[in-house]
Amino acid sequence: MLKYSNSEMMAIAAGRLIKDGDIVFAGTGVSMLAATVAKRIYAPRAVIFFETGGIDPALDEIPMAVADLRVMSGTALNSGLIEAFSTVGHRKLRTVAFLGAAQVDQYGNLNTTCIGDYHRPQKRFSGSGGGNDVASLASGGITFMQHEKRRLVEKLDYMTSVGWYRGGNSRQELGLKRGGAVAVVTNLGLLHFHEETKEIYLAEYFPGVTVEQVQENTGFALDVTNAKEAAPPTAEELAILREEVDPQGLICQPPEQ
């Protein structure tokens, strides 16, 4: 059996969600790998771009920040923030945004701002950045996070970015015309949202993970009725990830032998 690490599984599971032709708004870290794996395997016509304005960079090396020089090298076009964000929200484009978060709730809303009181937090994070913008404007959002009770929570300490808001039609009623949370990819599995209620549920657990383990690490009661085991990474997926996408191993360390 192939050996692979947790973050490799996450990158590949998320990559499989990208459709050919999608405009993928990538962050750094695992989400960048997911986008790049997707483009090289399942979605050759996907276009990767960054909130900083670099469209379709060569990505011969992995960027360490969205403003890394590597996101402006070999691109189709370099522009500014206004152009980048207006592209994410453009009605004629199917744009998918990758997001990170410190907390997610059962409607896919995200916190990247703080733990505790906003004005005097126990722990302060980086803030929205482009997170709120892409969660508001993109056709769909995919979030990455570690699967922990304190991270998958009933109530966010601060709602930085809106997913399905309070479920049902509440997102549309806010005036957000499209988009919403597509999936949450954790180190334990893949979570989707019910079509009508917009409540989160476990769609897939990764090989080696049990449903109980997922439940134990979730801060609210999780619907697991339709959960099935995810397909493990294929040899091709792993080879591309390790040899082409992140050969320096900056993001994903392969598992210890």
Partner 1 sequence: MTGCSEIAERLISLDEAVEEVIFDGCQLAIGGFTVTRNPMALIYTIIRRGIKDLHLVCHSNGQGMDILVGAGCVKRLEIAYGGNGRYAPTCIRFRRAVETGKLEFEDYSNYQMALRFLAGSLSIPFIPTRTGLGSDLMELEGFSSEVRREEKVASSKYARVDNPFSAEKEEVPLLPALNPDVALIHAQYVGEDGTVRIKGLTFADLEQAKAADKVIVTFEELVPRSFIRQDPDQNSLAAFFVDAYVKVPYGSHPTACFNYYDYDPAHLNLYRHMAEDDDRFQEYLGEWVYGVESHEEYLRKVGIDMLLKIKASPGIGYAPGLDRK
Catalytic, 8? Answer no
The distance of closest approach from Cβ of residue 225 to partner 1 in the complex, given in angstroms and rounded to an integer, is 29
The distance of closest approach from Cβ of residue 162 to partner 1 in the complex, given in angstroms and rounded to an integer, is 5
Size of the site for partner 1 (CB under 8 A): 74
Rounded to whole angstroms, the maximal C-alpha distance in the chain is: 52
Residue 158 in the binding site for partner 1 (CB under 8 A): yes
Window contacting partner 1 (CB under 8 A); options: 3-11, 60-68, 191-199, 232-240: 60-68
Q: Which 74-133 positions form the footprint of partner 1 (CB under 8 A)?
A: 74-82, 85-87, 89-93, 113-114, 118-133
Residue 144 in the binding site for partner 1 (CB under 8 A): no
Residue 200 in the binding site for partner 1 (CB under 8 A): no
Do 198 and 174 contact (CB within 8 A), yes or no?
no
Q: Which 209-228 positions form the footprint of partner 1 (CB under 8 A)?
A: none
Q: Which is nearer to partner 1, 2 or 69 (CB)?
A: 69
**Residue selected from 52, 143, 186, 187 as contacting partner 1 according to rule CB under 8 A:** 52
Coil vs helix vs strand at 96: strand
Alpha carbons 126 and 112: distance in angstroms, whole number: 7
Q: What is the dihedral of CA 132, 134, 139, 144, to 10 degrees?
A: -80
Residue 150 CB neighbours (<10 A): 11
Kindly report the three-state secondary structure assignment for every residue of 220-231: CCCECCCCEECC
Q: What is the DSSP letter of 152?
A: B
The distance of closest approach from Cβ of residue 204 to partner 1 in the complex, given in angstroms and rounded to an integer, is 27
Residue 38 in the binding site for partner 1 (CB under 8 A): no
The distance of closest approach from Cβ of residue 166 to partner 1 in the complex, given in angstroms and rounded to an integer, is 9
Residue 231 in the binding site for partner 1 (CB under 8 A): no
Do 151 and 185 contact (CB within 8 A), yes or no?
no
- Token pair 């722990």 is found at 123
Residue 154 in the binding site for partner 1 (CB under 8 A): no
Q: Which is nearer to partner 1, 77 or 231 (CB)?
A: 77
Window contacting partner 1 (CB under 8 A); options: 50-58, 144-152, 203-211, 231-239: 50-58
Backbone angles phi, psi at 149, to 5 degrees: -55, -40
Do 233 and 10 contact (CB within 8 A), yes or no?
no
